[in-house]
Structure 1
Amino acid sequence: MSQCLLVFLKGGPSDIPEIHGVKSGSIEERLKIPRGNGYEHFEITPDFEDVGGVRMRVYQWSYRTAIAE
């Protein structure tokens, strides 16, 4: 059974929620989040964000790619 890890997304498009659930038991260096006809890419930072008493790892938006057809 995989765990859902909550992370805090910083930067990027305003329609992406800041709190994101990652279906993984471990921290990933990069996240690729589908959005429209592409992906938003976020990279891990050394920072943490406290949201409602929950400490979350911060990922910073880095770039966008299109879905290959």
Structure 2
Amino acid sequence: MPRTVRVMLSGGPDWAEVPAVWDVSSVESEPKVKILCGNAYEHFEFSGSYTHHQGERMPVYRWCRRTYVAE
């Protein structure tokens, strides 16, 4: 099973149900992630900083924008 890196998601609209923790293959290969929330994608980028969450050091990905799903 491929190993993943757990990252902390930060920011974004209050109404969007975005998980606090997300898995990426690596910070280098996935410096940006997009998460489907309803009819839009919430985009996050690696901020260059780290935080501790439940005893684990995690890269922080900050919300940067929203795009809408094309019909």
Instruction: Work out whether 1:19 is the aligned partner of 2:24.
Output: no
1:25-36 aligned at under 5 Å gives the runs: 26-27=26-27, 28-36=30-38
TM-score, L = length of structure 1: 0.84
Q: Percent identity?
A: 45
Q: Which has the higher strand share?
A: 1
* 1:10 lines up with 2:43 in the alignment: no
CA drift at 1:57 = 0.3
**Structure 1 unaligned regions, length at least 5:** none
CA distance in structure 1 between the partners assigned to 2:70 and 2:19 by the alignment: 25
Q: Which of 41, 66, 69 does residue 67 from structure 1 map onto?
A: 69
